[in-house]
Structure 1
Amino acid sequence: MSLPTKIRALLQADPTSTTITLVERSPPTPDLTKNEHLIKVHAASPCAGELLWPRMVPTIPEKEEIITCDDVAGVVVSAPTDSPFQPGTEVYARTSYRRPGCARDYAIATTDELARRAGNLSWTESAATPLSAITAWQAFFAQSGIGELGDRAAWKGKRVLVTAAAGGVGVWLVQIGRLLGAEVIGTCGPRNVEFVRGLGASEVLDYGTTDFRVWAASDAEKKVDLVVDCVGGKSLEDAWWTLKDNGAIIGIVQPPEQRKPEALELPGVTAKFFIMTPSGKDLEEITKLVEARKAWPVVDSVWPLEQFEHGYARLESGHARGKVVFDLTLNVPK
């Protein structure tokens, strides 16, 4: 197919600025020798805090420009001859931060990042899935040390605390935790209590009114085997009090040891911080769950690319339920 000479793209001004502009650029050229595919983008999703990342990782040789959004859903336009994702394949992916992102009409994804998108998802739901679902998947199966997806015996009776359970990653942690057979306790604000319970949480705590230290001390049976914290700061500090001896605490925003209460003595606890690794293999497993209707992405709001300022304002408000998504197929009247 012939490509346009110019495409839309969301460009971050520079690593020290959070200013974004909608610009025109030439379509990217995939390097087939590096397993790169050209994707016609239907939808892309930003991640909270992503505009601050360039100043934290200032030297990215391959990132000639800071185009935002590394979650993408679209159709393969060109591919290496040996790729399982040939032109016309509907795919989604979390792409590498080392390359320009996917908030543009055409983007690049590699073979090992791509997965076939679930046929029962919309394009915006597909774009809402990769980062959040892969993070939850890897938290449970690569970081927790408890057991694999099919090992329900290992998870039976385990109690898991998920902070920000109504957020992008939280909704997947709750759903996958329920599928594992664990007892999931989710934290959220008051308006999301019933929503999180509906995802499969056995108990929901309003973080605004619950003192986690008092809650955990009120009954030894309430303490948890695993904490997955999606917030950092005070939330992470409070979550430490809910852990059992020899439990595990995982942070995806801040290293847990940085917020461990000084007064807390807790033998045998494993504390980990990790950033997910893009993985088409993991995303294929998520596709299976979605197509079996065992788990589902949650979309907070959908915006045309031209209304990116509203989308980022919603994202950074801290009140999004699930993911904010840009739909590149929407036309905005001029």
Structure 2
Amino acid sequence: MATTNLPTTIRAVYQIDPKLTTLKLMETPLPKPTGPNDHLIKIKATAPCLGELGWEINYPSIFPPNRERVPGTEAAGIVATSPPSSPFKPGDEVYFRLHAKYPGCLREYTIVHTEELALKPKTLDWIEAAATPLSTLTAWQGLFTQGILNKHGIKGDADARAHNSKLRVLVTGAGGSVGTWAVEFAAAAGAGAVVAQVSGANIEAAKKAGATEIIDYKKQSIEEWAREDASREVDLVLDCLGGPTLGSCWAAVKEGGVLLSIVGSPEESKPEGVNKALAKATWFLMDCRGDDLKEIADFIDERGLKPQIDSVVEFEEFQAAYDKVEQKKAKGKVVIKVDRF
């Protein structure tokens, strides 16, 4: 199935040298689906991810040789062509996160696979939808796939909510893109306590998202907070910051608990003298699962939630967008409009 009047060439942005963060706009042939799960997607908008222009140098085993270095791993767009067996048809509005090894979304059309796709939330516009997949997938999988909360608590399942109600959860960096979603998901699933590490204006936002306890990092460390009262220990930590914060999480997690980080290795950050035995202590990467994004879309539509967006730029401003993200100057997502709308 295909949309008619497809172009023969498109505008695409390339990272010519994996050692440099310099990007170049080029004109290239329209990508062609070659596999049974390949969809051609007309990209509406994409959002840079911090560090992605260094992934090939830092994690070379992930990437095939001679790959097309088109950045942009998350996006929203319209299905232009789909394989016969696909649940997605031309004209469907979708959002997704691509595996980094594939050519990305900073081009007018790209190839996306069935398992990565989901219909975009109806309540989000193109900009909002493009800023959503990576952060939500990371938070969702940190709590429900890698973590010990039961996602069915969100839908009101009594057994799931009874299980979740016994669990205390700590989210570090709870004012950031991933952390904010994690607080929302954990609270909605019925966690017994949701502890958010935030400061300033983010304190009220965290409470609104469902945080039941606050650690103000400008006033005390997680270790100091945990040592004040032994009952504050948590069953699950989702760390979004790494570094000294991750190290201090060892003081807060219970014996036999779970300590997860999206930034660094908990074992390598373990302070000297700490000998707790945990059920799980690991760094994890999210998986590009369209099935999860479908459930996330339902959650977003039911609750009218929005992602954190720092700024929106036109396609031609791609370099400035990536530079801002790489320099850690963005508060929320920077979104690049690939299509004119």
Normalised-by-shorter TM-score class: over 0.9
Q: Which of 92, 101, 111 does residue 98 from structure 1 map onto?
A: 101
| SS of residue paired to 1:257 | coil
Check 1:197–1:311 CA distance in 2 against 1; reply closer, same or farther (3 A cut).
Answer: farther
Partner of residue 176, structure 2: 167
Q: Does 1:4 align with 2:14?
A: no
- Distance between the aligned counterparts of 1:111 and 1:121, measured in 2? 21
- Do the aligned partners of residues 229 and 75 (structure 1) sit closer, same or farther apart at CA in structure 2, a change above 3 Å counting? same
Residue pairs, 1:209-224, within 5 angstroms: 209-224=219-234
Please say which of residues 206-215 and 39-48 is displaced more in the overlay: 206-215
Asked whether the 8 Å contact 1:166–1:192 carries over to 2, the reply is yes
- SS for the counterpart of 1:303 is strand
For residues 9 and 152 of structure 1, what CA distance do their matches in structure 2 show? 47
Deviation at 1:170, TM superposition (A): 1.1
Q: Which stretch of structure 1 is more off in the superposition, 250-259 or 203-212?
A: 203-212
Q: Given the alignment, which residue of 67, 70, 74 partners 1:67?
A: 70
Equivalent residue in structure 2 for 1:53, among 52, 55, 63: 55
- Structure 1's 286 and 220: CA in aligned 2 closer, same or farther, altered over 3 A? same
1:163-192 CA distance string (max 9 Å, x none): 111222112101001101122222234342
Shift in Å, 1:58: 2.4
1:44 and 1:71 in contact (8 A); partners too? yes
Alpha-carbon distance in 2 for matches of 1:264, 1:90: 50
1:103 is displaced (CA, Å) by 1.0
Paired with 2:216 and 2:319, the residues of 1 have a C-alpha distance of 30
Q: Residues of 2 paired with 1:324 and 1:200: CA distance?
A: 25
Code of the residue aligned with 1:135 in structure 2: it is T
Amino acid at match of 1:52: G
> Taking structure 1 as reference, are residues 283 and 244 closer, same or farther at Cα in structure 2, changes over 3 Å only?
same
- Pick closer, same or farther for the CA change 1:264–1:209 going to 2, 3 Å: same
Q: Which runs of 5+ in 2 are unaligned?
A: 154-159
2:22 aligned with 1:19: yes
**Gap runs ≥5 in structure 1:** none
Q: State the 1:193 CA deviation.
A: 2.4
**C-alpha RMSD of matched pairs (Å):** 1.9
> 1:63, 1:273 → 2: CA distance?
29
Task: Tell me if structure 2 keeps the 8 A contact 1:188–1:206.
Answer: yes
Match of 1:135 in 2: 138
How big is the shift at 1:69?
0.9
8 Å Cα contact 2:123/2:304 also seen in 1: no
List per-residue Cα deviations over 1:11-34 (Å, max 9, x = no partner). Answer: 212222222223322221111x33
Aligned-partner Cα distance in 2 for 1:84–1:254? 37
Partner SS, residue 112 of structure 1: helix
Partners of 2:181 and 2:79 lie apart in 1 by 26
**Which residue number in structure 2 is paired with residue 144 of structure 1?**
147
CA apart distance, 1:194: 2.3
Q: CA deviation at 1:286?
A: 0.5
Q: Distance in 2 between matches of 1:12 and 1:129?
A: 23
Asked whether 1:241 is paired with 2:245, we answer: no
Distance 1:329 1:146, change over 3 A: closer
Which stretch shifts more, 106-115 or 164-173? Answer: 164-173
Taking the aligned partners of 1:195 and 1:286, their CA distance within structure 2 comes to 20
- Percent identity, aligned pairs only, is 42
Q: How much does 1:269 deviate?
A: 4.4
Deviation at 1:319, TM superposition (A): 5.3
1:232-254 deviations in whole A, cap 9, x for unaligned?
A: 21221122221122211001121
Q: How many residues of Structure 1 are paired with residues of Structure 2 in the alignment?
A: 330
1:1-334 correspondence runs (5 A): 1-31=4-34, 33-59=35-61, 60-61=63-64, 64-150=67-153, 151-182=160-191, 183-293=193-303, 295-318=305-328, 320-330=330-340
